[in-house]
Amino acid sequence: MAAITQPKLPPASIAISRPLSPRRHTHLLIPSLPSPPPSMRAAKVRSPFAVRDDSMSSIIADLEMDEEEEDLTEGSGRGLADRWREIHGRDDWAGLLDPMDPLLRSELIRYGEFSQACYDAFDYDPVSRFCGSCKYNRRSFFACLGMADHGYAVTRYLYATSNFNLPNFFRTSRAGAKTWSQKANWIGYIAVSDDEASARIGRRDIVVAWRGTVTRLEWIADLMDFLRPVAEVGIPCPDSAVKVESGFADLYTDKDPTCRFCKYSAREQVITEVRKLVEHYAGAKGEEVSISVTGHSLGSALAMLSAYDIAEMGLTRVEGKAEPLPVAVFSFSGPRVGNARFKERFEEGVGIKAIRVVNVHDTVPKVPGILFNERIPAAIRRMAEGLPWSYSHVGVELALDHKWSPFLKDTGDPSCFHNLEAHLHLLDGYHGKGHRFVLASARDPALVNKACDFLKDHHMVPPFWRQDENKGMTRAHDGRWVQRNLHEIDDHPEDTPYLLRRLGLKDHH
């Protein structure tokens, strides 16, 4: 077992790790032992608390940070409350990615966990009559997922209808007429930070989190690959040359008036809720507010599109404030969304910041626009701008490589390369180009195998291990085993029609 150096701490204490939650470990301060001489520190002597065994915790201990690789206060000495605008992308994350800023890493993982929550809470079991819904009530959402310490509360669930051509996104139940809905799927949520969390992070944060596809990646080959002007789908862009992929636009804007859950489009659900929260916190209460949009895979495309819509609709403008509210997208393994004019309007016209976390071996960030994209020479790109298959990524890319991690095995399975938990694991170990892969927060590597088979076999973590206890079956009062029953499925707030009218949108319901 490799030896480790004592981490840099105040003289009166040293740190040992103990499990706190399924997502990460924390540090417990105890009285210090005498410091080893410099020569021993250089040799990376084993901590006296290290245990020689083959458990996952001992493997993590072997890879904990040493004093040469990370100091959480190095460079600024300020916390998130002081630096949140910088971490939120004010300067396009210049100087924060290489070497990796510890606060930025922590925030990227946090927003990635908001995205991961969309998968963990989604009912994708076809034998469940609630297949396609969220497994938890909105008011207990984060508590049920072990994320209560994040300090956010869900204010609205988001739904979409199945009237679009993107396979493997919409899940249906075999229960027939007994299912909760035959036309809707739960696709995400909107949440806001509570008072305690807002004080800790320096502002009131509104989060829009989108779900991606839940299993295989057939949808990549089925992208309609047809660019459509955003003005055609109702987004009030003054430039008709600004275009987005039509499948993403349809998913975002389609609705079904006959369905209780998708009688409003995902777009209408988002802009009305964001408008209400902005008016309450930034307008009425005068607080500093940020809007953070996150998603993985297809959810990343929805994150880009909805963030752009929020800004283009003017929802970031608050009476009495000179500057618009900052909007940032935290994207994980997302495809291209629009053309070069969309990129220009996104970044310069409405001023959205976006950071894209990708695995260089993943296929999804390379589509659509395999032939004509932002990577080709400028002269060719200008000639191809009018083509219907010329796409461009937006924002700043943070490229990771799963081959850096000693935990992950060599596999040819593209779903592993695309897995969100694997991306969060890579973020935890990334410190910059040329730096050794070392876990910064001891985030549990076992999480990688929740929905894939990516960890090396000797770690003894079963693949695809996450499931509900007894697969959601509970024992009724008469002793019979039955499926769990959702007493209430949240749909839409009663003030949605009023807010749509205020936004100048027609309400047909």
Residue 453 falls in the annotated catalytic set: no
Which residue is catalytic, options 193, 297, 306, 333?
Answer: 297
CA–CA–CA angle 310, 316, 322 (5° rounding):
155
Handedness of CA 346, 347, 352, 357 (dihedral sign): positive
Which residue is catalytic, options 309, 362, 490, 491?
Answer: 362
Handedness of CA 304, 306, 307, 309 (dihedral sign): positive
**Residue 482 pairs with which residues in a beta bridge?**
474
Q: How many CB atoms lie within 10 A of CB 54?
A: 10
368 upstream amide cis, omega within 30 of 0: yes
Token pair 């500057």: residue:
323
Q: In the 3-class helix/strand/coil scheme, how is 433-482 assigned residue by residue? A: CCCCCCCCCCCCHHHHHHCCCCECHHHCCCCCCCCCHHHHEEECCCCCEE
List, as one string, the DSSP characters of 299-367. HHHHHHHHHHHHHHTTTT--TT-SSPPPEEEEEESPPP-B-HHHHHIIIIIS--EEEEEEETT-SGGG-
Residue 418 falls in the annotated catalytic set: yes
99 upstream amide cis, omega within 30 of 0: yes
The SS3 of residue 427 is helix
Q: Which helix (H) or strand (E) holds 15?
A: strand 13-19
Phi and psi at residue 174, in whole multiples of 5°?
A: -85, 5
Token pair 């299993």: residue:
215
Amino acid 451 reads A
- Burial class of residue 148 in the structure, from the number of CB atoms within 10 Å of its CB (0-12 exposed, 13-18 middle, 19+ buried): middle
User: Is there a contact between 235 and 285 (Cβ–Cβ < 8 Å)?
Assistant: no
User: Is there a contact between 305 and 322 (Cβ–Cβ < 8 Å)?
Assistant: no
Report how far residue 104's alpha carbon sits from residue 14's, in angstroms, rounded to the nearest whole number. Answer: 25
Which residue is catalytic, options 88, 418, 425, 431?
Answer: 418
User: Is there a contact between 291 and 329 (Cβ–Cβ < 8 Å)?
Assistant: no
Report how far residue 403's alpha carbon sits from residue 384's, in angstroms, rounded to the nearest whole number. Answer: 34
CA–CA–CA angle 78, 84, 86 (5° rounding):
90
Q: Name the token pair of 64.
A: 């904990």
Active-site residues: which are they? 297, 362, 418
